[in-house]
Amino acid sequence: MLDVFQQLQLMLGGVSTTLAISILSLFFGFIIGLPLAFIRSYEKSLGFLVDVFEKVFRGVPELVLMLMFYFGFGLFVPFPFGNAFFTAVFVLSLRSAANQSQIFRGAIRGVGEEQMVAGSSLGLSRWQSIVRVMIPQVFIFSTPGLGSEYALLVKDSAYAFVLGVIEIMKVTDMIRAATYDPVTPYLASAFLYILLTFPIATYLDAWGSRKKKKLGL
Amino acid sequence: MANVMECRHLWKTYKQHIVAVKDVSMQIGKGEIKLIFGPSGSGKSTFLRCMAMLTLPDKGDIFLGDECLTKPGVDLNKARARIGFVFQHICLFRHLTALGNVELALRRVLKFPKEVARERALQALREVKMEEWAHHYPAQLSGGQQQRVGIARALARNPDIILLDEPTSALDPELIGEVIDTLRDLATKGATMLIVSHEMPFAREVADEMIFYDEGKIVETGPPEHFFKNPHSERARKFLTRLIKKTQREQNA
């Protein structure tokens, strides 16, 4: 049996693991997705590779990807795919990169080609125009999309449960098994997921809207 | 007189069949102001963008001073840094303040230290009478004010020449005057300018030469008086008559 204090302690550990998976995946998804969006927008020759990547990682269910990488590749490449936490973050990062690439591509179109031209007209290089002119505006444009992408990641981190990662879902299952209570643990975890997603996504959205209004984007 | 900018036998075709620039040659000397006018869709903007190498021409040569910009291997960013460009749709960077807009190229292209760049940017804003708006974002400014910042952004680097693509045509009529005043100031200070514009009273006042451009070609050139009194080509005559009538209507209204 687990007493309430132990349950809470377990849950707290689960929450931090869920947060770690989500935030790391959002971060790596950003690092990979942003360049992909610019490649797709400005380098038509490589664009089709990005397209294939996006189609694969948006089209295949996360569960399939995770099981494939962990049990499939993990068998032959134990390092790093033998590590469940790593594999969960790896798969979700790539999935998120594919999503974020699409979000940013829309934002690049929204900011407009003319801003790049204005950059070149001043003698800025393409790279400088992208970094100094496009990315700050693209980021503001993308905040609602990034907010929901974060929420999506928090929810999808639950798939890591099947790899045995001790996140919210796994802890819920452990508590259910130990207490024979099939209701309360699920309600508690549902509440926790809402708590983790809703405020941050809403805040990002509101921040972006305010910024957009101010800058007339 | 040494030419600040020159183009020889310039061609630009879109989608294989729309010829926007058809074998155009022209030159512009230091301190000269040339004004291009002509019907919309005739390729004036494309021509101006080619001159700034913002759109690459298919054939022909462009010279900035002695340097040929159309040779392979030319550092175009460096060349563009010497050309000021003012856009019809203004195209200010919306995430930067007026000062930030003007400062950007000074810091990142000319690599001025922060204080020097700031001083130069403020001076450019002073020249267009926008210094007190330095810390406002474009969205907080009127169209005329935005375009004045656009002009400050173009001239802050002390470019060899300023190209202006219909700088007033996207503005509400009551905002055109302040932009024209700014351009008049520039003209009296001896700036070299190539302007696409239909502001005829302004053209008459400041232009050394007017260029009637139609269907991708320079149809006729001459001093303003020539065009207002007796243009040779039928097309220029018709176009000007319409334009002058429109201007009079606006002034009476």
Residue B17 has pLDDT above 90, yes or no: no
ipTM of the complex: 0.93
Q: How many CB atoms lie within 10 A of CB B193?
A: 23
Q: Which of B108, B109, B110, B165 best probes binding to A when mutated, by most A CB atoms within 10 angstroms?
A: B108
Q: Using CB atoms, pick whichever of A114, A119, A215 lies closest to residue B89.
A: A114
Say yes or no: B240 contacts chain A, CB-CB below 8 A. Answer: no
Residue of A nearest to B152 (CA): A122
pLDDT digits (tens, 9 = 90+) for B76-114: 999 999 999 999 999 999 999 999 999 999 999 999 999
Q: Supply the pLDDT for residue B132.
A: 97
Q: How many CB atoms lie within 10 A of CB A51?
A: 13
Share of chain B above pLDDT 90, in %: 89
The fold for domain A4-215 equals: MetI-like fold (1.10.3720)
pLDDT digits (tens, 9 = 90+) for A101-129: 999 999 999 999 999 999 999 999 999 99
Residue B1 has pLDDT above 60, yes or no: no
| B residues 178-197 lying closer than 8 A (beta carbon) to A | none
**Mean pLDDT in residue range B211-219:** 95
Chain B nearest CA to A117, separation (Å):
7
Q: Is A124 in Cβ contact with B94 (below 8 Å)? A: no
Measured between beta carbons, which residues in chain B are less than 8 angstroms from residue A136?
95
Say yes or no: B93 contacts chain A, CB-CB below 8 A. Answer: yes
Q: Taking a C-beta distance cutoff of 8 angstroms, is the pair B153, B165 a contact?
A: no
Residue of B nearest to A213 (CA): B139
Chain B nearest CA to A116, separation (Å):
9
Residue A192 has pLDDT above 90, yes or no: yes
Residue B51 has pLDDT above 80, yes or no: yes
Q: Supply the pLDDT for residue B108.
A: 97
Measured between beta carbons, which residues in chain A are less than 8 angstroms from residue B54?
117, 120-121
Residue of A nearest to B153 (CA): A122
Residue B47 has pLDDT above 80, yes or no: yes
**Mean pLDDT in residue range A51-79:** 93
Q: Is A124 in Cβ contact with B95 (below 8 Å)? A: no
**Mean pLDDT in residue range B185-197:** 95
Measured between beta carbons, which residues in chain A are less than 8 angstroms from residue B104?
122, 124, 132-133
d(CA B188, CA B180): 12
pLDDT digits (tens, 9 = 90+) for A153-180: 999 999 999 999 999 999 999 999 999 9
Q: Supply the pLDDT for residue B74.
A: 94
pLDDT category at B246 given cuts 50, 70, 90 is confident
Q: Supply the pLDDT for residue B250.
A: 78
Q: Supply the pLDDT for residue A210.
A: 94
Please enumerate in sequence order all residues whose Cβ is within 8 A of that of B138, keeping only pairs 6 or more positions apart, or say none.
A215, A216, B90, B92, B93, B94, B98, B101, B146, B149
Q: Supply the pLDDT for residue B15.
A: 78
Question: What's the whole-model pTM score?
Answer: 0.91
Q: Is B80 in Cβ contact with A114 (below 8 Å)? A: no
Share of chain A above pLDDT 90, in %: 92
d(CA A37, CA A54): 10
Q: How far is CA B165 from CA B83, B197, B204, in A?
A: 13, 7, 18
Residue A25 has pLDDT above 80, yes or no: yes
DSSP of B53-95, one letter per residue?
A: TSS--SEEEEEETTEESSSTT--HHHHHTTEEEE-TT----TT
Q: Is B80 in Cβ contact with A121 (below 8 Å)? A: yes
Ramachandran region, residue A180 (left: φ > 0; alpha: ψ -120 to 50; beta: rest): left
Q: Which two tokens stand for residue B253?
A: 């209204």
Share of chain B above pLDDT 70, in %: 99
Q: What is the DSSP letter of A164?
A: T
Q: Using CB atoms, pick whichever of B94, B104, B139 lies closest to residue A122.
A: B104
Q: Supply the pLDDT for residue A79.
A: 85
**Mean pLDDT in residue range B1-28:** 90
pLDDT digits (tens, 9 = 90+) for A123-156: 999 999 999 999 999 999 999 999 999 999 999 9
Q: Using CB atoms, pick whichever of B54, B77, B92 lies closest to residue A117.
A: B54
Measured between beta carbons, which residues in chain B are less than 8 angstroms from residue A137?
93-95
Per DSSP, helices labelled H in B138-189 are 143-155, 173-188
Residue A1 has pLDDT above 80, yes or no: no
Q: Which two tokens stand for residue A102?
A: 């699409």
**Mean pLDDT in residue range B44-65:** 96
